[in-house]
Amino acid sequence: MKQSAIIRSDHAGTLNRVFRISLWLKGIDGAFELLGGILFLFVKPSTIGATVRFLTRHEIAEDPHDLVANFLRHTAEQLSVNKELLASVYLLGHGLIKIVLVYGLLTGRKGIYPYAFLFLGLFIAIETARLIEFFSFGILILMLFDLFVLTMVWLEYRKLQ
């Protein structure tokens, strides 16, 4: 076997591993979104606020200006029943779509690729709109990860063609 063929073979194997790892991470993300959606359906906003205050109390005691703890507290305080229902529906739908796509891609269903392109593109568009409306490093990281996964799905799709 020629040296260049070995390198291409190793490169393809590495890309396949990265593809699978990125899908597993996306699936885990989807599972957490499903759990969050279920949480928002069944737990009152006041309970979430009390839990966040309890979990961040030591951090706030050490540093009253802690960005993460204050962000979590502020977000929890802003929850209302309407916002919670909207967040629940969004997280349940988003998480379920991710899990279905990841399952289809990991099991080699070729027909799922167009749906993966569509939904990943939609997620990226929503994240971009949210970034324009209000910049957040968390959303930026999620958007960059979705772009990475979309690229990996595209490379795998081209390989199958």
CA separation, residue 25 to residues 61, 74, 149 (Å): 34, 28, 10
Of 74-78, 82-86, 122-126, 151-155, which gets the smallest average pLDDT? 82-86
CA separation, residue 38 to residues 25, 46, 72, 119 (Å): 20, 16, 19, 22
Model pLDDT, residue 31: 95
Model pLDDT, residue 72: 85
Residue 7 pLDDT greater than 90, yes or no: no
Percent of the residues in the chain that have a pLDDT greater than 90, as a whole number: 45
Query: What's the pTM?
Result: 0.69
Percent of the residues in the chain that have a pLDDT greater than 70, as a whole number: 92
Q: What is the pLDDT of residues 73-99, one digit of tens each?
A: 888 787 776 777 777 888 899 899 999
Task: Check residue 80 and report its DSSP letter.
Answer: -
Q: Which two tokens mark 59? A: 């951090």
Residue spans of the domains in the chain: they are 3-160
Model pLDDT, residue 147: 95
Q: What is the pLDDT of residues 133-143, one digit of tens each?
A: 888 888 899 89
Contacts of 157 (CB under 8 A, 6+ apart): 113, 117
Buried b (16+ CB within 10 A) or exposed e, 48-61: bbeebeeebeeeee
Q: What is the pLDDT of residues 28-49, one digit of tens each?
A: 999 999 998 998 888 887 888 8
Q: How far apart are CA 101 and CA 103, in angstroms?
A: 5
Model pLDDT, residue 41: 86
- 8 A C-beta contact, residue 157 and residue 149: no
| Chain centroid to CA 29 | 5
Q: How far apart are CA 102 and CA 112, in angstroms?
A: 9
Contacts of 3 (CB under 8 A, 6+ apart): none
Of 4-13, 57-66, 117-126, 147-156, which gets the smallest average pLDDT? 4-13
Contacts of 119 (CB under 8 A, 6+ apart): 97, 101
- 8 A C-beta contact, residue 16 and residue 82: no
Helix (H) or strand (E) holding 21: helix 3-42
Model pLDDT, residue 118: 95
Residue 112 pLDDT greater than 90, yes or no: yes
Average pLDDT, the chain: 86
